[in-house]
A and B are shown apart, each in its own frame.
Chain A
Amino acid sequence: MSADTGDAQSGGPIVEITGLHKAFGMLEVLKGIDVTVERGEVVCIIGPSGSGKSTLLRCVNVLEEPNSGSVVVNGFELTDPDVDIDRARRSIGMVFQGFNLFGHLSVLDNLTVAQRKVLKRDAAEAERIARENLDKVGLAEKAGAMPEQLSGGQQQRVAIARALSMQPAVMLFDEPTSALDPELVGDVLGVMRQLADEGMTMLVVTHEMQFAREVADKVLFMDGGVVVESGHPSKVIADPAEDRTKTFLSRVLNPVHASETTD
């Protein structure tokens, strides 16, 4: 990591969330969340729909403004009103459920535009890094394509490559495979697995229990705006302590059976 990405703190955790509260009007969505992500760790967030997973993730790069509590990422105190949020976001990559590739730009330009305009890299350098990352996600030959010409799985891999091209210190994923046809999920998860193996710090909201079990260093189970249970996947997923976690997992892992018994 280069010094100019604002790497103010190199020893401690890369994400440190304490006492985070977030409400939309009267609706309290996050009710005091504490999360720590160490450098190189993969943390998966699971939980039922509406439990606040996306909101939590979006508070980590301040797409949602927290109401109270503190969010420190890569040495930036994001809840400090004086923080340069655009600068802080350079070191936080984000991958969305809906890909959100820039529709008017080619795949290559999607990967270079922020490098050039935000990091002020020259065109050749930006392109070199972009092609490197396209290669990494297995789409080197799609550099000239427009996003609309790609399948959903390819678009999502381009989106991952776009985030990686900023050389972030941490990557956030919000249900990156939920919008994909089942046969395209594997490619995206494969890329994420490879990233994890290379030591990328990742915070992943997902319903892919298999992925969480195999890749995560830590799993957080969220429900009703709080972290109900957290720990190693062998604990939280394989042998949960809380009833709410058990109910959720039985629904996710065995949907047909669960819908018969829980409703």
Chain B
Amino acid sequence: MPMSPRKRAQAFRGVQYGILVLALAAVAFLADWETLGNAFFNLDAMATQFPGIITTALINTIIYTGLGFALGLAVGLVLALMKLSSVAPYRWIATVYIEFFRGVPALLVFIALGFGVPLAFQIQFDTYSTAAIALGLVGSAYIAETLRAGIQAVPKGQVEAARSLGMAQSRATFTVVIPQAFRIILPPLTNELILLTKDSSLIYLLGLLGTEYELAKFGREGMNATNSMSPILLAGLCYLLITVPLGYLSRYLERRAGRKRDEGLEVTA
């Protein structure tokens, strides 16, 4: 006898719970908890990481990411405006740049900046500048695309209203379009900040002094020093300390933007 759709849905849900329980049981019985505990949850090894993991590593990760994001935002804005320019060569340059840095692994960008550029031009930036430039290059490609979409999502009537009040094109762009584009893209922009936070773990490639360690490098040094995996787990938790609140912020902004839109529709409908 065929099952009714509702019965079928119920049975399917039951199967899903069953799979979950089996998977958890397998992990619980098969994993070597004792070894795992010693390797990853060694509290003594973790304790040795403080306070450096916060005062040096976490702070440095935030600084590198913040600098990179700021630069990425500035370059991304220029690229987005170039991509929307009526001058074709600007559009081409922006397209090539975006496709390149979006497609190339961040790892290669760090290697190129850390070793290629100093060799080619006989210049050596300090770590913070190099890290900011590398993260900025990687971030700007994504940010540019997000910004372009945001700018294009601002209704054309906004520019027309601004122009009809005597604003020049550039003034209309900066006082009317960009502020509204940012409101639209704040949630995806927060996601890019999260991705950049994780990309900052590649900074170790530049060769760091002890005071320049960020979380990933700090955790690995800790692993060597304590002969335990615990420090890297701790470093991972510190990443979550940054990214989880950002994720909440992103969802909050998304909800707020969504609500604003709905309210807007209600009153003008």
Contact = CB atoms under 8 A, between A and B. Distances in A.
Interface in B175-231: 175-176, 179-180, 183
B157 interface: yes
Given A92-B164, A102-B161, A104-B180, A117 B171 contact: yes
Contacts, number: 77
Given A148-B260, A148-B264, A114 B162 contact: yes
B158 interface: yes
Contacts of B183: 104
A100 B160 CA distance: 8
B164 A152 contact: no
Interface in B147-175: 155, 157-158, 160-168, 171, 175
Nearest to B176: A102
A57 to B, nearest CB: 11
Contacts of A162: 165
Q: Which of B163, B171, B175, B268 has the most chain A CB within a 10 Å cutoff?
A: B268
Interface in B254-269: 260, 263-264, 267-268
A25 interface: no
Contacts of A166: 165-166
Given A102-B176, A103-B180, A148-B260, A163 B158 contact: no
A87 interface: yes
Contacts of A102: 158, 161-162, 176, 180
Q: Which of A93, A98, A150 has the most chain B CB within a 10 Å cutoff?
A: A98
B157 A86 contact: no
A155 B163 CA distance: 19
Interface string B228-269: 000000000000000000000000000000001001100110
B263 A148 contact: yes
Interface string A97-132: 011111110000000011001110000000000000
A150 B267 CA distance: 7
Contact of A155 (B160, B166, B171, B268): B268
Given A100-B158, A100-B161, A102-B158, A152 B267 contact: yes
Given A103-B180, A117-B171, A118-B167, A148 B267 contact: yes
A152 B165 CA distance: 21
Contact of A114 (B157, B165, B179, B180): B165
A63 B267 contact: no
Nearest to A110: B161
Contacts of A103: 158, 180, 264
Nearest to B261: A148
B77 to A, nearest CB: 17
A61 interface: yes
A94 interface: yes
B52 to A, nearest CB: 43
A257 to B, nearest CB: 30
B172 to A, nearest CB: 10
A29 B157 CA distance: 21
A136 to B, nearest CB: 18
Interface in A34-62: 61
Contacts of B171: 117-118
B164 A63 contact: yes
A194 interface: no
A148 B167 CA distance: 23
Interface in B99-137: none
A104 to B, nearest CB: 5
Nearest to B268: A152
Contacts of B162: 102, 114
Given A148-B263, A148-B267, A86 B161 contact: no
Interface string A132-171: 0000000000000000111110010001001100100000
A96 interface: yes
Q: Which of B164, B168, B175, B264 has the most chain A CB within a 10 Å cutoff?
A: B164
B115 to A, nearest CB: 45
Interface of A: 61, 63, 86-87, 89-90, 92-94, 96, 98-104, 113-114, 117-119, 148-152, 155, 159, 162-163, 166, 179
Given A61-B164, A162-B165, 17 more contacts: A86-B166, A89-B163, A89-B165, A90-B165, A92-B164, A96-B157, A98-B157, A99-B268, A100-B160, A101-B161, A102-B162, A102-B176, A113-B165, A117-B175, A119-B166, A148-B264, A179-B268
Interface of B: 155, 157-158, 160-168, 171, 175-176, 179-180, 183, 260, 263-264, 267-268
